[in-house]
Amino acid sequence: MYSMTFKKPLASVVRVAIIEDYKLTRVGLKCALDKIEGIEVVEEAQNALMGIEIVKKIHPDIVLMDLGLPGMNGFEAMEIIKKISPETKIIILTSHDSEEDTRNSFNFGASAYCLKDIDPNTLSCVIKNVAKGAFWADSAVADTVFKMFSKSKMSFVQRHCASNDDMKLTPRENEVLKLLVEGKSNTEIAKELVVSTHTAKAHVCSILQKFCVQDRVSAAVKAVREGFVVI
């Protein structure tokens, strides 16, 4: 990532609204993100109610929000935001890595869960990828995300996304995806499907590319959220 002194036309820019009660954090986020080509912070709010009003008016591409907001908490706000602007993607930016907060965030519609010590360049990548439909979770909560799926008995459902041919998986990739969501490693997937580890890894890489995600956790989250795997 690198800084630019100009912006692309608005149509090609990811429009971000920040909901954060600490002014210093809001200012820091805006300064950092406004330096990134392809991202524009269009509005800021210091509490959930103000943030909801912003979403109603401008329907941003991304809402970057904390969970511990004054008045209405982040989970209540997320539920309302997803109702009034389903296309708006929500990225949680918090200092808490608890299993409960992580689980609730994804259940209430978040597309990403980031901790506040995230590098600005990494955050900008998350924003751009989430805007394209990806899911992302900080490595600190990766185990929690996998537990969300592995604790339940899963039934596999083959599904193709009619609106996006790039997301169609082959029958073998569907099998690999089910095992990936169960938290199995490439070696375990290879053993289960009686293929080489190299072949298993190639299938996983293909899935990540088709899902437009950067890691296995994001692929697992998207698989469940999009209905490829039902838990």
Domains and CATH numbers, the chain: 10-144 (3.40.50.2300), 152-230 (1.10.10.10)
For residue 169, the model assigns a pLDDT of 87
- Confidence (pLDDT) at 9: 42
C-beta separation of 34 from 62 below 8 A: no
Q: What mean pLDDT is predicted for residues 124-149?
A: 80
Percentage with pLDDT > 70 across the chain: 85
pLDDT given for residue 75 in this prediction: 92
**pLDDT tens digits, 75-97:** 999 999 999 999 999 999 999 88
Cβ atoms of 14 and 38 within 8 Å: the answer is yes
88-132 confidence digits (pLDDT tens): 999 999 998 888 899 899 889 898 999 999 888 889 988 998 898
Query: Residue 210: pLDDT above 60?
Result: yes
Between the CA of residue 169 and those of 146, 162, 184, 188, 223, what are the distances in Å?
21, 12, 19, 20, 11
Q: Can you give the pLDDT at residue 8?
A: 38
Contact between 161 and 212 under an 8 Å Cβ cutoff? The reply is no
The three-state DSSP-derived secondary structure of 114-135 is EECCCCHHHHHHHHHHHHCCCC
Q: With a cut of 80, say whether residue 146 has pLDDT above it.
A: no
pLDDT digits (tens, 9 = 90+) for 50-74: 999 999 999 999 999 999 898 888 9
- On the 0-12 / 13-18 / 19+ scale of CB atoms within 10 A, 130 is buried
Q: Where are the alpha helices (DSSP H) in 132-215?
A: 142-150, 171-181, 186-193, 197-211
For the segment 165-197, what is each residue's pLDDT rounded down to a tens digit?
Answer: 456 888 999 999 989 888 888 999 999 999 999
